[in-house]
Amino acid sequence: MVVSRLVQTPIALALGLTWQALLDPSFGIGSTPGLHWLAKPLLGSPELALYTVIFVIAWQFLPFHALLYQAGIRQIPTALYEAAALDGAGPVTRSGFTRMDSRQEGR
């Protein structure tokens, strides 16, 4: 637990400082040519602060969860897809229900 915190803390600090610099209205993303409409205090505005934080958190964690989902999907045996095709399931049904049913077995 302590080692995990020791690894995660510098990463979180680096991400925080990076996004703080990127979202700075003076020299961040808003100073890029063509993106002048972003030259406003995204974290200082009560209307935009929540959406900005949600975007940053989603940007940080979405790739990890997508990787976990992809790893889980790759573990589904092809025999299940073949069995669904033999039962007469179409491509969408075969893909959707086979994935959902096999993911629920692991609980």
pLDDT tens digit string along 33-52? 888 777 788 888 899 899 99
Report in angstroms the alpha-carbon separations of 18 from 24, 54, 90: 10, 16, 47
For residue 17, is pLDDT > 70? yes
The model's pTM is 0.59
Residues 6+ apart with CB under 8 A from 22: 28, 29
Backbone phi, psi, residue 43, to 5°: -90, -15
d(CA 44, CA 16): 15
Tokens of 19: 């996004």
Please compute the mean of the pLDDT values over residues 30-35 and round it to a whole number. 80
Please compute the mean of the pLDDT values over residues 13-36 and round it to a whole number. 84
